[in-house]
């Protein structure tokens, strides 16, 4: 299967300027897999990621956060069919939302550009979606997962926030603050994502819980980023995650339940 584009463009040359971009349901390619990769100044890492994208992926969308290095050029050389979306706003959440809006596949996977997530795990996420789940989260703490990157402080923060979500929402997550996820394209209508920063990962999870859609987990291994420094700030972003999960639980109206939970998905 392949993603088709308007005849006047080619995937390698296509640059989408994110504005009020929204893909009609009729334009979604049933059975296709889109990979969304937000990146800013990841020129030394992005080739490693894109060269390992499995053949089952039909579309790769690089959301460039106005990089000042050669991220886009390196990405196009490593994956000639890459679709480049130019981010207008700031933050990981804003970048991901721009990529989601451009994605044409029925199954959408999000992955970091720094080499900390293994692209060869993508088939496991897609298989879980095909089993009937609407959202699939990667977990570093279930059997088969792991991390050689997480610090004691980040581990404590993640476990505390995850425990709070599990208590407040009646969930049974084994991991929370981890950005390797996949979902059905139709879930975008239900989740109505609007977070701009790293807290989007938590917003995806808790809005899925509020909407009562089917959620699964798969084991995943996190490695240290290949080169460079992360933009994540443990305390600042941890506070934003906490505010997000509390706001979503106590002040935001439950999302409209546009999805019917898939049968036999548990």
- Does residue 248 register a pLDDT over 90? no
Average pLDDT over residues 8-31: 54
Residue 134 maps to a domain: yes
Residue 4 maps to a domain: no
In tens, the pLDDT along 130-155 reads 999 999 999 999 999 999 987 788 78
- Does residue 253 register a pLDDT over 70? no
Residue 19 maps to a domain: yes
Of residues 110 and 242, more confidently modeled: 110
Average pLDDT over residues 162-189: 92
Return the number of other C-beta atoms located less than 10 Å from residue 105's C-beta: 24
In tens, the pLDDT along 67-78 reads 999 999 999 999
Residue 140 maps to a domain: yes
Return the number of other C-beta atoms located less than 10 Å from residue 236's C-beta: 11
Q: Which residues in 183-219 are b (16+ Cβ under 10 Å) and which e?
A: bbbebbebbebebbbbbbbbbbbbbbbbbebbbbbbb
pLDDT of residue 140: 94
Residue 149 maps to a domain: yes
pLDDT of residue 254: 45
Residue 220 maps to a domain: yes
* Calpha distance 140→146 (Å, rounded): 4
CA distance from start to end of the chain: 29
Residue 264 maps to a domain: no
The structure tokens 């106005």 sit at 66
> Of 195, 192, 3, which is closest to residue 93 (Cα–Cα)?
195
Of residues 27 and 143, more confidently modeled: 143
* Calpha distance 23→52 (Å, rounded): 27
pLDDT of residue 151: 78
* Calpha distance 43→23 (Å, rounded): 29
Residue 29 belongs to domain with CATH number: 3.90.550.10
Of residues 158 and 235, more confidently modeled: 158
> Total structural domains in the chain?
1
For residue 209, the enclosing domain spans 15-250
Residue 8 maps to a domain: no
């Amino acid at each position: 299967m392949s993603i088709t584009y308007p005849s006047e463009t080619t995937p390698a040359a296509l640059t989408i300027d994110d504005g009020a971009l929204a893909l009609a349901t009729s334009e979604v390619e049933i059975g296709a897999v889109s990979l969304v990769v937000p990146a800013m100044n990841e020129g030394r890492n992005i080739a490693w990621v894109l060269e390992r994208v499995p053949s089952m992926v039909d579309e790769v969308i690089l959301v460039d956060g106005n990089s000042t290095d050669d991220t886009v050029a390196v990405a196009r050389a490593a994956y000639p069919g890459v679709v480049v979306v130019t981010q207008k706003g700031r933050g990981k959440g804003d970048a991901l939302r721009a990529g989601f809006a451009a994605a044409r596949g029925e199954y959408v996977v999000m992955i970091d550009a720094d080499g900390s997530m293994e692209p060869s795990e993508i088939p496991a996420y897609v298989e879980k979606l095909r089993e009937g789940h609407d959202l699939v989260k990667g977990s570093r703490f279930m059997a088969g997962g792991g991390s050689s990157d997480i610090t004691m402080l980040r581990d404590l923060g993640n476990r505390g926030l995850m425990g709070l979500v599990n208590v407040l929402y009646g969930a049974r997550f084994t991991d929370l603050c981890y950005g390797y996820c996949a979902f059905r394209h139709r879930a975008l209508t239900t989740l109505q994502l609007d977070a701009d920063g790293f807290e989007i990962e938590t917003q995806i999870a808790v809005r899925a819980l509020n909407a009562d859609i089917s959620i699964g987990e798969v084991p995943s291994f996190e490695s240290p980023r290949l080169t460079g420094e992360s933009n994540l700030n443990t305390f600042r972003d941890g506070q934003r995650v906490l505010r997000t999960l509390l706001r979503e639980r106590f002040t935001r109206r439950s999302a409209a339940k546009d999805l019917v939970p898939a049968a036999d998905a548990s």
